[in-house]
Structure 1
Amino acid sequence: MQPPVLLNIGGSRYETTADTLTQRDPGSLLAAVLSGGAGAHGLPTTEDGAVFVDRDGELFRHVLNWLRDGAVPALADAEYRQLLQEAEYYRLPGLIDCINERIGDWDDKLERTSEAELTRKDVIKCIQADKVRFRGVNLSGLDLSKLDLSEVDFSCGCIEETKFSLANLHKAKFGEQIFKSLLWTEPTFKVQTYKSADLTGANLTGANLEGANLKGAKLSGSNLQGANLQRAYLREVDLRETQLTGAKLGGANLLGAIR
Structure 2
Amino acid sequence: MTNLLALVAVLIVAAPSAAHAQAYQCRAPQVSSVPRVSPDQRPRVVPITGYTLALSWSPAFCRTREGSRAHAAQCSGDNGRFGLIVHGLWPQGARTYPQWCQSRAPVTPQIARENMCMMPSTRLIARQWAKHGSCMTRRPETYFGVTRILWDSLRIPDYDRISREDDLTAGRIRQAFADANGRMWQPSHVGVKLNRDGWLEEIRLCYGPRFRPTRCDDRRYGARDRVTAKIWRGL
Instruction: Report the TM-score, using the length of structure 1 for normalisation.
Output: 0.23
Say which structure is richer in strand.
2
Higher helix share: 2
Which structure has the higher relative contact order (CA within 8 Å, separation 6+)? 2
